[in-house]
Chain A
Amino acid sequence: MDDLPLQKIAISGPTLSSLLQRVSSSPADADGLLFGHISPVAPSTLSDDPSSAATAASTSNSAALVATVTSFLCPGCPLSFFDSLGRLLFPSLLHHSQHRLIGWFSSRRRSRLQPSMRDFNVAASLSSDPSLSFPIDASDGFSPRVFVLFSTPPLDSAIHTHEYRAFQFRTAADTFEPRSIDVVNIGPGFRGHYGNFSPNSSFPWLACDSRGSSMMQEDGKEERLSEIRQVAKNQNEIDLIEHLSEMRQAAKYQNDIDLVAEGFPIAKLGRLMGPEASSYTAGLEEMYEKMLTKIDSLARLVENSSAQVLQMEQHNSKLRAEIAGIKRVVNC
């Protein structure tokens, strides 16, 4: 069961607009990958808005799936991850642990909004690669089937600047089936979607147990070790090993946190509560200031590197125009 129909494709307003910005600023046609997740539609009848409750009840279908696009990757050139025959260039690279590849998109200026010969071949390659398939609900698999086609109107006189159409590639009939795009914005009608757009960051998950408050860097270790010694006396060795690996894991998390928090030990957070808190505001402000300077320097770095990338792109574009002989055509 690898060919379940999608009910619709959801994308958040900001993601769609940045995607449109990316493809419209590219020099020529562009294509890229869409990441996100596939989830069954949860029929939500609990709403304080009577109108939305009624529509949710009428459209919900127990078997329906919704593809949610959360991010994308666009190198800004044609044939970015496949060759002229639609074969995937680096299938292993497409397999990303953190972001699920759910489909791809293609943008062609001033062309019909109809999948082309190559679109079909790329979609067929993507959906037939078993290494890209992933499970939904631990039962059915889903391979990257979402395809969004962007274009610009064929005539310059048109009042709109973008056109797009979404499809699901069905392997049973080997066709593209049009799907509606649901642009998710803020409002009561979209309440059910908020959970779908939780941010993914590399900030590690804090494994805080009930004794979390005692897991402080300096004094916590000794306490733990003595605890382990006690445990070792009473229980068998397997428990000890488990405990040790748990500790190692905790230490690894701590290291990860230190990398992000930089000079602000998590132990200090404890002082934010209780009677000490009022005298600690200065320390907190210092932390915020450090964070701000860090963000500022990061922004500057990004700005500089972006400028360099832009310069390089312009240079490349000039070289490409030379190879294509465009310069000669434009000049004469």
Chain B
Amino acid sequence: MASDCFPPFIAAQLNYLVHHCPLGVKVENVWSGSKSYPGVLDRFTLLIPYCLDYIKWDVLYNAEFPLCAPDVIFGPEDEHFHPFWLRSKEGGNEMEGAKNSLSEWNHKDPTRLCALIQELRDEYTAYQRRRAGEVDDDRLTFEISTILSREGIEMHMSSGLEKPEEVKLAVPLLDMNINKMVHGCPWRHLQKIHLQVVYPVGKKYVSAASAPRLKLVSTPELKALFSVDDVKLPSWVDGMCMAEYLPHLEESLQGQIMEAVSLIDIRRHFIETLAPVFGRPIEADPVFCRKATVLVASGVFTFLVHLFIPTQFPKQQPALMLQSSQHFNSQGAPIRSSLLTDFPWSPRWEAPQMAERILEFLVDESLNFKRFCNEAQLQT
């Protein structure tokens, strides 16, 4: 993003939005609408996370008219979304109580754009919720009524000529703060797991309601601790409803997360037992204990061993990658092996035994790796 071509007042507001807004807004496209200064950017497309997807809004400033508040063009499918619409019965101009982030716009305040986008997104959430509530489908109306009380629930009604009508729900799961469970947590944003539920809008002539499409989605950073892809969703029995399904799923998820947190300590213990065998690790991930690097020497051949420890450790074995400290390719980068996992392993071994077995494997593997390095270097 070439933010240095924005006029200062827009740059300040946009930077604040991108770096301080908890929504995680991204800027997709920037361009200029000015006639006299075609290089001065003043309009951009924002990607705003909503309902486990992104909505695209165009924000239009006028570089030459800094006092004018920006305008927003919403997506083509949202032609009925009208925020800040001041309905007044008579006169069209008595809007005493109207107060929102656009009134009394101040171009010198860097927080204004962020406040505007947040307020608009709140309005959009309410608008989509209203639309989903208006769908003429008894099952859907019932399902929505049971989960409406969940804080942070988001809905999206998608309809189009080609697409079948469906209502997408993003149901926040687990009322627990995962950030607080991890010691020394580096995450800036609160980690969340959502269940995405997609209901096809019922056709009147279909008697049996089909099961909704279900998918677990987590915030991307949570992968360091716990991968939602490993979770096996309980099956949806015919005639089931969300109110029955969710408590069951939440209970099992909660257990899995507790286990994932406790596995951090097992990984830490494993890294600590590497020290007597390999010497102190050169580098190790201190929070999630997913990575450790040790220095190994076989005669004069010294190389690094990166250990990638999976979240399912010790059920799953770590993956090893060897990196020579003496051989470099034509680009000057050190030569590395591919990920190695075909070494003897048993989850029932004690941690010191695991470390020793890895060392035994490396003693043999170092010869192969040295040959591989020499060949690779000869080719260049």
- A residues bordering B, Cβ < 8 Å? 24-29, 77-79, 84-88, 91, 108-112, 114-121, 124-126, 128-131, 154, 174-176, 317, 320-321, 323-326, 328-330, 332
Contacts of B71 in A (CB 8 A): 108, 116-119
B107 to chain A, nearest CB (A): 8
Contacts of A118 in B (CB 8 A): 71-72
Of B7, B31, B67, B80, which is within 8 A of A326 by CB? B7
Flag if B62 contacts A29 (CB, 8 Å): yes
Contacts of A324 in B (CB 8 A): 7-9, 63-66
B82 within 8 Å of A (CB atoms): yes
CB contacts under 8 Å to A, within B39-86, are 39-40, 43, 58, 60, 62-69, 71-74, 76, 79-80, 82-86
Contacts of A321 in B (CB 8 A): 36-37, 64
Flag if B9 contacts A29 (CB, 8 Å): no
Residue of A nearest to B99 (CB): A85
Flag if B40 contacts A326 (CB, 8 Å): yes
Contacts of A176 in B (CB 8 A): 79
7 shortest A-B CB distances, which residue pairs? A84-B69, A129-B92, A109-B33, A325-B8, A28-B62, A128-B92, A324-B66
B207 within 8 Å of A (CB atoms): no
- Extra 19 A-B pairs, beta carbons < 8 Å, given A77-B65, A117-B82, A326-B64: A27-B64, A29-B62, A78-B68, A84-B105, A85-B86, A85-B102, A91-B92, A111-B60, A116-B60, A118-B72, A119-B71, A121-B84, A130-B91, A154-B31, A174-B82, A175-B80, A176-B79, A325-B7, A325-B8
A175 to chain B, nearest CB (A): 7
Flag if A121 contacts B35 (CB, 8 Å): no
Given contacts A84-B103, A118-B71, A125-B92, contact A329 B7 (CB under 8 A): yes
A129 to chain B, nearest CB (A): 4
Q: A77 vs B100: C-alpha distance in the bound complex, in angstroms? A: 24
Contacts of A119 in B (CB 8 A): 71
Flag if B85 contacts A124 (CB, 8 Å): yes
Contacts of B7 in A (CB 8 A): 324-326, 329
Flag if B92 contacts A108 (CB, 8 Å): no
B40 to chain A, nearest CB (A): 5
Of A26, A86, A332, which is within 8 A of B35 by CB? A26
Given contacts A124-B85, A326-B40, A329-B4, contact A320 B65 (CB under 8 A): yes
Q: 23 A–B contact pairs at CB < 8 A?
A: A84-B68, A85-B103, A87-B86, A91-B93, A109-B34, A110-B32, A112-B58, A114-B76, A117-B83, A118-B71, A119-B71, A124-B85, A124-B86, A129-B91, A129-B93, A131-B91, A154-B31, A176-B79, A321-B36, A323-B66, A324-B7, A326-B64, A330-B39
Residue of B nearest to A176 (CB): B79
B95 within 8 Å of A (CB atoms): yes
Contacts of B230 in A (CB 8 A): none
Q: A37 vs B152: C-alpha distance in the bound complex, in angstroms? A: 50
Q: A77 vs B80: C-alpha distance in the bound complex, in angstroms? A: 27
Flag if A28 contacts B82 (CB, 8 Å): no
Flag if A114 contacts B73 (CB, 8 Å): yes
Contacts of A116 in B (CB 8 A): 60, 71-74
Flag if A88 contacts B66 (CB, 8 Å): no
Of B8, B58, B65, which is within 8 A of A28 by CB? B65
Flag if A29 contacts B60 (CB, 8 Å): yes
Flag if B73 contacts A329 (CB, 8 Å): no
B199 within 8 Å of A (CB atoms): no
Residue of B nearest to A77 (CB): B65
Q: A116 vs B73: C-alpha distance in the bound complex, in angstroms? A: 4
Flag if B103 contacts A28 (CB, 8 Å): no
Q: A329 vs B8: C-alpha distance in the bound complex, in angstroms? A: 8
